[in-house]
Amino acid sequence: MNTAARPEAVLFRRGSWWEIRRIGEVLRQETIGGVLLLAGTVVAMAWANSPWSAAYESLRALTVGPSAMHLHLDLAAWAADGLLAIFFFVAGLELKQQFVAGDLRDPRRAAVPVAAAVGGVIVPALIYLAFTVGDGGGALKGWAIPSATDIAFALAVLAVAGRHLPSALRTFLLTLAVVDDLLAIAIIAVFYSSGLSILPLLAALVPLAAFAALVRRQAGCWWLLLPLAAATWALVHASGVHATVAGVLLAFTVPVGRRTEHGGSGAVPGLAAHFEDRVRPVSAAVAVPIFALLSAGVSLGGLRTALADSVSLGVVVGLVAGKVAGIVAATWLVARFTHASLDEELCWIDVMGVAMLGGIGFTVSLLIGELAFGASGRDEHSKVAVLAGSLVATLLATILLRLRNRACRRSTGPSPATPTKTASLTSTRPTATAARVGCQITPATGHHSDSNRHR
């Protein structure tokens, strides 16, 4: 009988070289996108509170597009329904790659970010409901507003404040944010779609199936795929289901496996990676910043009144406290019931810092606020609350992560997050004593096996 002890389960173990390199590339693009997103937000806020605020509202209300299939929409609706479909297409590609070909294809490794994302959705929603349960005026409809995490902003803050933190935390935050956004789109599809029309929804399956057939045959013909994607989006929009769902459905049809180039024998990355490389810059640099420009402009004249509303209080507390409580509690429960310990590079204060970044709920939170309250005073209040809560979460996360980043930089020197191809992954890992500067943590078993230390 084999009596060898099972290797100790470790949370946030350092990923493979392929995963580290891919995550690093995503971080670079999303960091730039975060800067552009911030710029769009600042412009929108300044414009909406300037003497030219009427011009800003006129721009948002400008209607374009054909009346057929209900596509004569104002620019704000085009940004929310159309541009964010590109954002969710990229999120769907990222999620599929991580769970099909990435390190998270191992269910034990995937359990942590998925559980953390679920906790980060449930706890903020419960906190929001606690603040608004006795209020009228449809306040309860906004329960999902504090449940989303903005990928671009969160990764941009981590890139600036936590450059020397272990790469496993970056992978965790990226996966957490992507799963969080996919949960948010599921919530939008179920709870914030109205007037469901079955015929257009069934008709959307035709271009979706044609798109899936082409990508399964490794066809990268944009002149065929783009019209099919547009037709799928338009039919989903006409069905009453929020059109951003089409982006996720299209992404899930794209194969992840490596492919062989025509006329060549070498394998190249699959279509999912190829599409992500092409579409992510459009999402990060164009789609999301324009959405911010057309959605984040809110008057600050009644700031005190806005923040006193139960909706605003529920959103702010849900983002700042609920996200941290939900993510950390879910991660701890996974560690508790699987008898796992944190990787030797980390301690729970690092997890708390990343959980604070989860409270930056900008893009999708603004979208859910618009869907919940429409063009009403409470929509304006929810926008103010999302901006305030995200700002507080950013400041708290920055302070904590910079303190930890400083400790890691003193103890380990250059960041281990970007090793060279010829460097040994194990040689870049700090020792347990050095990595845990400022931490007081007791491992689950009191020691780490050599196989875990050098994996």
Supply the pLDDT for residue 85. Answer: 93
For residue 130, is it within any domain?
Answer: yes
Read off the pLDDT of residues 306-320 as tens digits, 9 standing for 90 and up.
Answer: 788 899 999 999 999
For residue 263, is it within any domain?
Answer: no
In angstroms, the CA 87 to CA 181 distance is 10
Phi, psi of 67 (to 5 degrees): -75, -25
For residue 264, is it within any domain?
Answer: no
Supply the pLDDT for residue 305. Answer: 79
For residue 277, is it within any domain?
Answer: no
What predicted TM-score, i.e. pTM, was given to this entire model? Answer: 0.77
For residue 29, is it within any domain?
Answer: no
Domains identified in the chain, total number = 1
Supply the pLDDT for residue 9. Answer: 61
Supply the pLDDT for residue 30. Answer: 66
Supply the pLDDT for residue 284. Answer: 85
Read off the pLDDT of residues 388-399 as tens digits, 9 standing for 90 and up.
Answer: 999 999 999 999
Supply the pLDDT for residue 416. Answer: 45
Supply the pLDDT for residue 417. Answer: 45
User: Which residue stretches of the chain have pLDDT < 70?
Assistant: 1-30, 103, 219-220, 258-269, 302, 343, 408-455
Supply the pLDDT for residue 415. Answer: 45
Supply the pLDDT for residue 216. Answer: 87
Supply the pLDDT for residue 12. Answer: 54
For residue 272, is it within any domain?
Answer: no
For residue 149, is it within any domain?
Answer: yes
Supply the pLDDT for residue 43. Answer: 94
**Domain of 333, in residue numbers:** 35-75+108-193+285-453
CATH classification at residue 430: 1.20.1530.10
Supply the pLDDT for residue 441. Answer: 36
Supply the pLDDT for residue 453. Answer: 38
